[in-house]
Amino acid sequence: MANKKRNEFVFNMNGHVEPQRPFLIGVAGGTASGKSTVCKRIKEKLGEEHEARVVIIGQESFYKDLTPEDREKADLGQYNFDHPGALDIHQMHKTLTDIIARKIVKMPLYDFKSNARLKDKYAIVHASDVHVVLFEGILAFYDKRIRDLFNMKCFVDTDPDTRLERRVRKDTLEMNRDLELVLNQYITFVKPSFEDFCLPTKKYADVIIPRGAENTVAIDLIVQHIQDLIRGPQPADKNRLRNRARHHSDSMVSRPH
């Protein structure tokens, strides 16, 4: 696994290692690939096994408000929610940089049924209390400035037929959408936009997770890797490093000229 951007660490008053900034993980992949489920599993495991404080942010918080005409189109499955233009990329970037700066951030909550943000309802993220932030969305890696903020990038790679089946179930059963409109939206916007804007970003991933949440081996490896990065050097590692440094300096002294 690539470790391009190692987090920086400081020691707190108790001598424990605290990350200077939350460890930011981007999770991309097609619709219904299992991004949210993978994030939930990572959060559960980091929380239960490593007591890490983890927050999940969904890209849907950053959908732009719709004009009345676009609202009508959306109700008929004729609005392209899979195009980068549907998202407020600037606000997405600002939110993530505020989180990195450990600010208190107000996160809009999105309602897929009304195709709009919930009025006056937010999730408040106290970024200074958070160890790990998982940001998930079909276009999480689309914008370079946002991509560059992630310490780690994962792409959930699930078979397209499986994704379509899940998507249809979700839209019809959970969101009460009309089957004909759902299929039409999929063929007109979801599939072509996946091919144009999401799939090309797979190359930026550090880790590809085939089959999503059922891939427990991949999830365990990711959790272990995050844990290694956010915990900083442990006493055993430090002793080993100290001994190696001592051995190195001894051999420097005794080396014949």
Contacts with ligand L45E5XJ5, residue ranges (CB under 6 A): 31-32, 35, 63, 81-82, 112, 115, 138, 190
Which residue's CB is nearer to ligand L45E5XJ5, number 127 or number 140?
140
Q: Which does 37 bind (CB under 5 to 8 A by kind): ligand L45E5XJ5, ligand ADP, none?
A: ligand ADP
Q: 142, 203 in Cβ contact below 8 A?
A: no
Phi-psi region of 11 (alpha: psi -120 to 50; beta: other; left: phi over 0): beta
Tell me if 212 contacts ligand ADP by CB under 6 A. Answer: yes
Q: Does 19 contact ligand ADP by CB under 6 A?
A: no
- Provide the 8-state DSSP code for 127: G
In the bound complex, which residue of the shown chain has the CB atom lying closest to ligand L45E5XJ5?
Answer: 31
State the minimum distance, in angstroms, from the CB of residue 42 to ligand ADP: 12
Complex with ligand ADP: residue 100 or 107, whichever CB lies closer: 107
Q: Look at residues 140, 176, 138, 178 and name the one whose alpha carbon lies nearest to residue 158.
A: 138
Binding of ligand ADP at residue 213 (CB under 6 A)? yes
Q: How many residues bind ligand ADP (CB under 6 A)?
A: 13
Residue 32 contacts residue 112 (beta carbons within 8 Å): no
Assess 140 for contact with ligand ADP (CB under 6 A): no
- Please state the closest distance from residue 24 (CB atom) to ligand L45E5XJ5, in A: 19
Q: What does 78 interact with, of ligand ADP, ligand L45E5XJ5, none (CB < 5 to 8 A by kind)?
A: none
Check binding of 34 to ligand ADP (CB under 6 A).
yes
Burial annotation 87-114 (CB, 10 A radius, 16+ → b, else e):
bbbeebbebbeebbebeebebbebeeee
Concatenated DSSP letters of 177-220:
--HHHHHHHIIIIIHHHIIIIIGGGGGG-SEEEETGGG-HHHHH
